[in-house]
Amino acid sequence: MAFEFEEANSNGVIIKVVGVGGGGTNAVNRMIEAGVRGVEFIAVNTDKQVLENSGAAHKIVIGEKLTRGRGAGANPEIGTRAAEESAEEIANVLRGTDMVFITTGMGGGTGTGAAPVVAKIAKDMGILTVGIVTKPFLFEGKKRMELAEEGIAKLGTCVDSLVVIPNERLKQVSETRLTLLNAFIVADDVLRQGVQSISELINVTGLVNLDFADVTAIMSNAGNAHMGVGQATGKDKAEQAAMLAISSPLLETSIKGARGIIVNITASPDIGLDEVDVAASMIQKEAHPDAQIIWGAAFDTSLEDEMKVTVIATGFESAKKGAHQQDAYIAPKPIDNAPMAEAAPAYNAPVYNAPAMDNNANNGLFTNEYVDANAEAEPSNGDVISDSDFNDILTLFKKN
């Protein structure tokens, strides 16, 4: 069920934020309360009662036939099926959109299960799709963390770029005691900064303008992404602001090795050229030597002595495997008489002048058939083992 809404105008570029599930809906509400402009807000949930309390102009109760508006019961499969049931409504509310942020708290039922479906719908429509999600606190339990990791991996295959915020890091960066409520507010504020910074880059006219094409060039099909906003005052404000932007203590990422970077510097009109140079040099030093860096600058008289540096970085080496994928799977050693796994990863053993293996065995398991020990073998860079050595080895195998 979709609620009616009025179209908003965002200076020619339509940016929408979709909050999925309870965490995503709360994040959207806090963005609205913070006065984020230039974007349209959509709240998507299986829980009708929670959704009715949202301040978003766009509200979609997904999977009403499945859940009867009562939530997903912490079951991501229910969240997935609910979003699939309401796919047409989701697509309708996204029509005409240029860029969409999918935000949710991973580990629950609706957000974990439905966010990848919403993202896939958006990306299939040709919309620049960015995921910004949180991982649960450790005290929320192993099961919830496992569900979150699975959801993040699925979402990573459905978005152009993905930013992951681990809630656990909130305990490390706060100088004062955090209440449970404040912790979630801080996490939501990181989501807000990411959305607001990109919206302002596109929609706010600056001294050196960045446009939507710049954002698309850096974030399209980019995988893991880093979004950082640093603000500082005083003598070392350029260095401090840049450091906070390139290595946010609340994120698991930095810009080290990034091949695509957007940088926007906002300050009062009397900002010194040397201060801009300090910030720019720090960013260039951390990025890949061949990185594509797109710069923007804007003046804001209200900042006075303050300097604000926004950095969006993508194109990390790990991103080539897809957004937020795990490290490559390492095949275990073969086990005698073990059932053969279908399409298992290939095992690349060191090459010697050894007895040939079955050329059709591409599944990572050794065959039990040896060919003639005197057969001609390819030269190798390893140590050369003589034919007599092979005969000794074969004799030993036969004895065992």
Q: Output the DSSP codes for 118-185.
A: HHHHHHHTT-EEEEEEEEPPGGG-HHHHHHHHHHHHHHHTTSSEEEEEEGGGHHHH-SSPPPHHHHHH
**Residue type at 301?**
T
Among 126-135, 245-254, 262-271, the least confident range: 245-254
Whether the domain at 1-203 and the domain at 225-324 fall into the same CATH topology? no
pLDDT of residue 231: 92
Per-residue pLDDT of 17-45, as tens digits, reads: 999 999 999 999 999 999 988 899 999 99
Mean pLDDT of the chain: 79
Q: Residue 15: in which H helix or E strand, if any?
A: strand 15-20
Domain boundaries, the chain: 1-203, 225-324, 332-400
What is the value of pTM for the model shown?
Answer: 0.74
Looking at the domain 225-324, which fold is it? Answer: 60s Ribosomal Protein L30; Chain: A; (3.30.1330)
- Alpha helices, DSSP H only, in the chain? 21-33, 48-52, 64-67, 76-85, 87-94, 110-124, 142-156, 170-173, 180-203, 212-219, 237-246, 273-286, 387-399
Pick the CATH number of 1-203 from 3.40.50.10490, 3.40.190.10, 3.20.20.70, 3.40.50.1440: 3.40.50.1440
Q: Which residue has the tokens 């963390």?
A: 145
Tokens of 14: 């339509």
